[in-house]
Structure 1
Amino acid sequence: MVFPSFLIAVFLVFLGNCTNYSTTSSVQAPPTLISITNNGNSNFTIKVRAQNPELIFQGYRLFEAPTEALAQNPTDLNQGAQCLLAQASIVQPIEYLFEVDPSSNPNTAGVSCRIFATITPGNYISLRTLGLAVNLANSTSSYRVSPPSNTLIVP
C-alpha cells in the first residue's frame, strides 16, 4: 500500500508549502426588501429576497433610522438588531418572511427569521447580511456586514 502513503505525503508537503491564500474577506450579497406589513402590537412581517449560499453566511442585521440615508449607512454597523441562522440554513434565491417583534413569542408559521426589536412607524429600515470573517494571523473572528439593502418605510 505505497500508493495511499504517497498521496498523504504529497498532500502534507502541499499544505506545508501553500502560501497563496487570500487575506481579503468575502463580501456577502445584500438582501432585497420587498414589503413590510404591520401586524399590530409592534409586530411586523418583512418579505425579503435573498441569496447567500456561502459557507461564511451567518444571518442578517436590521437597521432603523428616521431617514433613508441613516438606515442604509448607520454610524455603527454593530448596533442593528440581528437574526442569526443555523449553519444548516443555507439561503437560496427565493423570498423569505422575517418577523420583527420585541416579544419572545415563537415564530409565526412560515417565518424564516425572527428579529427581536421594536421599530417605529414612519422610520426607514434596511438589512445587511452577516458573514463570518476569520483572521488567520491572530486567530480571531468577527462579523463582516454586506453593503445595505434597499430601504422601506415602516407603515
Structure 2
Amino acid sequence: MNTGHFLFRLFFTGLVVFCTFRCTNYSTTASVQAPPTLISIVNNGNSNFILKVRAQNPEFIFQGYRIYSGTTEALAQNPPDLNLGAECFLAQAAIVQPIEYTFEVDPSTNPNTAGVSCRIFTTLITGTYISMRTLGLSVNLQDSTRTFRVSIPSNTLIVP
C-alpha cells in the first residue's frame, strides 16, 4: 500500500471522527425559504389548469412547492393545516436561479404536457383562491427526523 494514500485515509478518517464528536458549531435555526410569485392561471377545460409561477430556489434544501385553495384570500394564504395542500416536488430544479415555472393542476394521473415543469394532482374549483408556499427540507440533528418546512404564503389568484 502506498504510504501517502494510507496517511491521507488516516487523516480523513480522523477528521470525520473529530467532526462527528467535537463539532458543535451548527445552526438550529431553520432556514427561511422565499415564497413564489403566482403570475397567471388559465383553465384548459376538464378541471385542468395551467399555472405560471416565478420563483427562486435559494438553497440546497429546496424540495418543491405546495398549493393551497380556499374560499377567501385569507384561507388560501393561511390554511388551518399547512400539510393539507397538494405538492409538486422538483428534483431537477436549478439552485439559486430565478425561473418561471409552468405547473399543470389536474386531478388525473396523466403524464405532464410538453413544457410543464410539474403536475399538481388536485382539483381546483372556479371562483376559489389559490396560494403557494415553498417546501424546504428540515432535518432535526438530535433525533434524525426529517420534515418539510414551508415558506410564508405567496400572493393569491382567483381560479377562473
Per the normalisation by structure 1, the TM-score is 0.91
Alignment size in residue pairs: 154
Q: Which secondary structure state, in structure 2, belongs to the residue aligned with residue 48 of structure 1?
A: strand
Q: Is the 8 A contact 1:127 1:149 kept in 2?
A: yes
Change (3 A) 1:56 1:97: same
Change (3 A) 1:59 1:10: closer
Alignment equivalent of 1:147, drawn from 143, 147, 152 = 152
Change (3 A) 1:82 1:6: closer
Deviation of 1:6 after TM superposition, in Å, equals 7.4
| Partner deviation per Cα, 1:11-64 (whole Å, 9 max, x = no partner) | 643443211111111111110000010111100001000111411111111000
Give the root-mean-square deviation of aligned CA atoms: 1.8
Structure 2, gaps ≥5 residues long: none
| Sequence identity percentage | 68
Distance in 2, matches of 1:12 and 1:51, equals: 36
Alignment equivalent of 1:90, drawn from 81, 87, 94 = 94
| Partner deviation per Cα, 1:82-140 (whole Å, 9 max, x = no partner) | 11222x33353121100100111111110001101100111100000111111111111
Q: Which secondary structure state, in structure 2, belongs to the residue aligned with residue 129 of structure 1?
A: strand
Question: Which residue in 2 is equivalent to 1:69?
Answer: 74
Question: Which residue in 2 is equivalent to 1:4?
Answer: 8
Q: Is the 8 A contact 1:64 1:119 kept in 2?
A: yes
AA at the equivalent of 1:28? Q
Q: Where does 1:2-151 land on structure 2 (aligned, <5 Å)?
A: 4=8, 7-8=11-12, 9=14, 12-86=17-91, 88-90=92-94, 92-151=97-156
AA at the equivalent of 1:4? F
Q: Is the 8 A contact 1:101 1:114 kept in 2?
A: yes
AA at the equivalent of 1:23? T
Change (3 A) 1:5 1:30: same
Q: Is the 8 A contact 1:134 1:141 kept in 2?
A: yes
Choose between structure 1 and 2: higher strand proportion: 1
Per the normalisation by structure 2, the TM-score is 0.88
